[in-house]
Chains A and B, each alone.
Chain A
Amino acid sequence: MLQLTPEEWTAVALSIRVAGWATLLSLPLGIATALLLARGRFWGRGLLNGLVHLPLILPPVVTGYMLLLLFGRRGPIGSLLEETFGIVLAFRWTGAVLASAIMAFPLMVRAIRLAVEAVDPKLEQAAGTLGANRLWTFATITLPLILPGVIAGAILAFAKAMGEFGATITFVSNIPGETQTIPSAIYALIQVPGGEAGALRLTAVSIAVAMAALLASEAVGRLVARRIADR
Chain B
Amino acid sequence: MSIDVGIRHRFGGFSIDAAFSAGTGLTALFGRSGAGKTTLVNAVAGLLRPEQGRVSVEGEVLLDTERGIAVPPHKRRIGYVFQEGRLFPHLSVRQNLGFGRWFTRRRHRFGSFADTVELLGIGHLLERRPGSLSGGEKQRVAIGRALLASPRLLLMDEPLASLDEARKAEILPYIERLRDGLGLPILYVSHSVPEIARLATTVVILADGRVERSGPPAALMADPDLFPLMGRHEGGALLAARILAHDPVDALTELEVSGGRLWVPEVDAPPGTQLRVRIRARDVILAEAPPVGLSALNCLPATVVEIGPLDQPIVDVKLVSGEDFMLARITRRSLRVLALEPGRQVHAVLKSIAVGRRDIGRDEHLAEGHFERS
Contacts and interface: CB of A to CB of B under 8 A. Distances in A.
A204 to B, nearest CB: 39
Mostly, the A contact residues are helix
B133 to A, nearest CB: 10
Contacts of A136: 103
A130 B145 contact: yes
B60 to A, nearest CB: 16
A122 interface: yes
A120 B89 CA distance: 11
Interface stretch (A1-9, A46-54, A168-176, A223-231): A223-231
Contacts of B47: 125, 128-129
Interface centre among B79, B99, B132 (most CB of A within 10 A): B99
A227 B88 CA distance: 12
Contacts of B75: 131
Contacts of A128: 46-47, 72-74
Nearest to A137: B74
Contacts of A127: 88, 99
Interface stretch (A101-109, A140-148, A185-193, A213-221): A140-148
A126 interface: yes
B275 interface: no
Given A228-B90, A231-B131, A129 B99 contact: no
A133 interface: yes
B63 interface: no
Interface residues of A, number: 22
A132 B74 contact: yes
Contact of A126 (B86, B103, B129): B86
Given A126-B86, A129-B79, A132-B103, A230 B131 contact: yes
A228 B104 CA distance: 26
B77 interface: yes
Contact of B88 (A123, A129, A229): A123
A122 B84 CA distance: 10
Contacts of A229: 89, 131
Given A129-B45, A229-B89, A230-B89, A122 B82 contact: yes
B74 A131 contact: yes
A69 B85 CA distance: 55
B144 to A, nearest CB: 12
B146 A144 contact: no
Question: Which residue, B47, B73, B80, B102, has most C-beta atoms of chain A within 10 A?
Answer: B73
Interface in A82-138: 120, 122-123, 125-133, 136
Contact of A130 (B103, B131, B132): B103
Which of B90, B130, B132 has most chain A Cβ within 10 Å?
B90
A133 B72 contact: yes
A140 B99 contact: yes
Contacts of B265: none
Contacts of B80: 126, 129
B82 A130 contact: no
B99 A130 contact: yes
Contacts of A227: 90
A131 B150 CA distance: 10
B140 to A, nearest CB: 16
B149 interface: yes
A230 B132 CA distance: 8
A115 to B, nearest CB: 13
A123 B89 CA distance: 9
A126 B132 contact: no
A129 B156 CA distance: 12
A133 B90 contact: no
B130 A230 contact: yes
A144 B88 CA distance: 10
B173 interface: no
B100 interface: yes
A212 to B, nearest CB: 27
Interface string B114-136: 00000000000000011110000
Contacts of A144: 90
B78 interface: yes
B188 to A, nearest CB: 16
Nearest to B108: A131
A227 to B, nearest CB: 7
A140 B103 CA distance: 12
Contacts of B145: 130
Given A130-B103, A131-B74, A141 B88 contact: yes
B65 to A, nearest CB: 20
A21 B47 CA distance: 41
A128 B78 CA distance: 10
Contacts of A141: 88
B146 to A, nearest CB: 7
Given A129-B73, A145-B89, 15 more contacts: A122-B86, A123-B86, A127-B88, A128-B73, A128-B74, A129-B76, A129-B80, A129-B149, A130-B103, A131-B103, A131-B149, A132-B103, A145-B90, A228-B90, A231-B129
Interface of A: 120, 122-123, 125-133, 136, 140-141, 144-145, 227-231
6 contacts: A120-B86, A125-B73, A128-B74, A129-B79, A129-B146, A131-B75
